[in-house]
Chain A
Amino acid sequence: MGNNPAKVKTVYYFGTCLVDMAYPKAGMAGIKLLQREGVEVIFPQEQGCCGQPAYNSGFRQEAKDVAWKQVQVFSGNNYPIIVPSGSCAGMMKYHYLELFKDDPEYYEVKKFCDRVHELTSYLNNELKAQYTDKGSPVKLTWHSSCHARREMGCTDDSKALIRQLKNVELVEIEREHECCGFGGTFSIKQPEISAAMVHDKVEDIKNTGTKKFLTGDCGCMMNITGHMGKEKVAIEGQHIAEFILERING
């Protein structure tokens, strides 16, 4: 079934803490999409959070301790580390370097960072995954997380995967560039501004006339679907990996 079985044998999978706690099906779908390409997936049970919540909140040492733990957990082999989140991937690929910039561990951390890939970008660029759509026609829209867009630069990869699905019509939202207002603890420290942002994002999604939106980041999804739930907006949100797996399995 795999397209490139000889090319890549094994990858590590970093599930992210939010996926672990709230969206395990999305996490599992990511693993299955990788396995489908003939890749062996290792999921270290000792993994935790990437450290971003503390890093962004002003608790650098705690973030650093958690980051170092992840570096150790994934240090057994030099396999690529695949992350089903642009935000966590961005943290691990770029901000770990910032955290350890003055430390002797920097070079070890750098090697770790170089191995980090966002899931859809890895599927599209490295594995050249090809999908045959077995689902019935559906119209949907796409929400890109800020870090998928501005740090990992993987928005086009995610969309390219969606566009492979023949019966799926992708309608783009008007203000895709704009943050949904999650921002981790920002949504708690500045709830009113965050509320205004997520409200506008939901309006944008409503304006596409679709009944479903996909995203590659469960933080944004929790924020957007949470507001939709409160406002009784009948639009469903789903992680891209889970959606693709459903479509190709029929």
Chain B
Amino acid sequence: MASNAKFNFKKSITDALADKQLRANFKFATDTLRGKRLAVFSDPEETMHLRKVGNGLKRNVLTKLPQLLEQLEAKCKENGIIVHWAETVDEANNIVLDLMEKHSAHKMVKGKSMVSEEMHLNKFLEDQGKLPLETDLGEYIIQLNNEPPSHIIVPAVHKNRKQIAQIFADNIPGVSYTEDTSELLAIARHKLREHYRTADIGLSGVNFAIAESGTLCLVENEGNGRMCTAVPPVHVALMGLEKVVEKLEDIPPLYRLLCGSATGQRITTYFNMIKGPRKAGEKDGPKEVHLIILDNGRSKILADKQLRQTLQCIRCGTCLNHCPVYTRIGGHAYGSTYPGPIGEILMPQVEGLDKKGSLPTASSLCNACEEVCPVMIPIPNLIRRLRDESYDMDGEGVVKGHGFKKSLVETIVWKGWKLTQVNATCNKLMLLGVQLFGNMLPKVGPLKAWTSVRTSPKFARQSLKDLAKKEGIRNE
């Protein structure tokens, strides 16, 4: 979804909630994914231990990120990988374009990469007359339908089989409508194989980049990632700068956490470790491998000790599957590359609270995301932090766009509320007011929102404080 389009969260929520098919698709999909995750992480003690290990590894990476990135760059260079640094998405997009121009490339086959979504790379390349083709099955489906992904791991999670059958029939020349999944798969495989063979350049994401050896790790199930990185003459890998890990031994726990959380697998069908281009005498592999390391606001996030925990994310998407809000409104409603709980904390930091500050309101702080996060990101706490910064009453905010919500009315309301809770006389007056008038309040403001689907709260004629006094409960 284009980041420059005016973002109206409220409207997209209303639209998403009205779409019954969408809600049913999401409920079915997230229930399935949650069940699969639980089957793999069935021992709570073992899971907790693994999560603590994962958390420790990612925290360690973040404490020495600059050194690890330097080491990664040096090792990659030794291995023959050409490393590029991009501070902004514009820079990253232009690096990709330059590489395509240099190789007179027109057609690009793409493995799944959320960073490329963050860059809106497809649109950028199309505008330059290039042909970027998604090869992950989910991405392929939604690209055919001209849509952005609605999930980090399962991009076409919002579509059911019939809708996918229709997308194929409408968008692939010569294909007639079929709901048979194996037929649909065969059609996609046939089309994609043609593209792998004829593409000038292949692009992929990076799940883990190992600093000590300069190895790029790619986790996938379909084999399309391997095709994109091995068949075309040039391979370009994209990574956010937080994806680096220190050493090879760090991979098994993180890989296990990623697979188990994302798809409920112990291991995936493919785990690619890329350590450079084709060597002399080798028969396959790309002739050139490039790595683009993107910042896009990440180093600013790193600078704040609390917010930096956002960068621990390994993009498993399990917080989405467990979020009661995401399950109901779906990924597109967030109007952002990263939806769900992780998107609520990441997007406002990357794009600014003034642009994406409404996202952190879409959480009941039920802690389901925190309960399952494989690397133990305290998402609810970070949501609260961003809500604080949205009002930024003391002017000390660090997130771009802080204080965008500053409101005199809300400030007065909360200051008044505080007074009734810290001052005994004010508390008594408030309770008296509630007892006398609480049940007659006009249905405006917060009460209007509340009573749209609920009866008015009923306040008691005697407070607990009154009752306790009456019953002679000791006061102190």
Contacts and interface: CB of A to CB of B under 8 A. Distances in A.
B417 A53 contact: yes
Interface string A197-230: 1110000000000000000000000110111011
A32 to B, nearest CB: 9
B223 interface: no
Interface stretch (A109-117, A118-126, A180-188, A242-250): A180-188
Nearest to B362: A190
A146 B421 contact: no
Interface residues of B, number: 67
Contact of A187 (B362, B410, B449): B449
B468 to A, nearest CB: 4
**Secondary structure type dominating chain B contacts:** helix
A77 B13 CA distance: 49
A48 B417 CA distance: 10
B474 A62 contact: no
Interface in B379-407: 381, 384, 387-391, 393-394, 405
A56 B329 CA distance: 22
B146 to A, nearest CB: 27
Contacts of B410: 59
A58 B13 CA distance: 22
A193 B325 contact: yes
B476 A42 contact: yes
B415 A193 contact: no
Nearest to B322: A177
A70 B371 CA distance: 28
Given A24-B466, A42-B474, A151-B367, A62 B418 contact: yes
A196 B15 CA distance: 13
B471 interface: yes
A195 B450 CA distance: 9
B361 interface: yes
A13 B465 CA distance: 11
Interface stretch (B130-138, B227-235, B456-464): B456-464
Contact of B464 (A20, A58, A230): A20
B324 A191 contact: no
Given A21-B459, A61-B394, A146-B364, A45 B388 contact: no
A40 B381 contact: no
B145 to A, nearest CB: 25
A227 B453 contact: yes
A89 interface: no
A178 interface: yes
Interface in A160-188: 177-179, 181-188
Contacts of B421: 17, 48-49, 51, 66, 69
B424 interface: yes
Contacts of B394: 61
Nearest to A32: B471
A31 B465 CA distance: 12
B460 A23 contact: yes
Contact of B384 (A24, A58, A197): A58
A54 interface: yes
Given A65-B422, A69-B422, A196-B17, A28 B388 contact: no
A62 B415 CA distance: 7
A104 interface: no
Given A48-B421, A58-B384, A61-B393, A230 B455 contact: yes
A55 B410 CA distance: 14
A48 B427 contact: yes
A179 B476 contact: no
A12 B473 CA distance: 11
A49 B423 CA distance: 11
Nearest to B360: A58
B387 A58 contact: yes
A22 B228 CA distance: 62
B467 interface: yes
A86 B295 CA distance: 41
A151 to B, nearest CB: 7
Given A20-B465, A21-B438, A187-B449, 6 more contacts: A22-B457, A46-B424, A48-B427, A187-B364, A192-B13, A229-B454
Interface of B: 13-14, 17, 23, 324-325, 328-329, 361-368, 370-371, 381, 384, 387-391, 393-394, 405, 410, 414-415, 417-418, 420-422, 424, 427, 431, 434, 438, 446, 449-460, 462-469, 471, 473-476
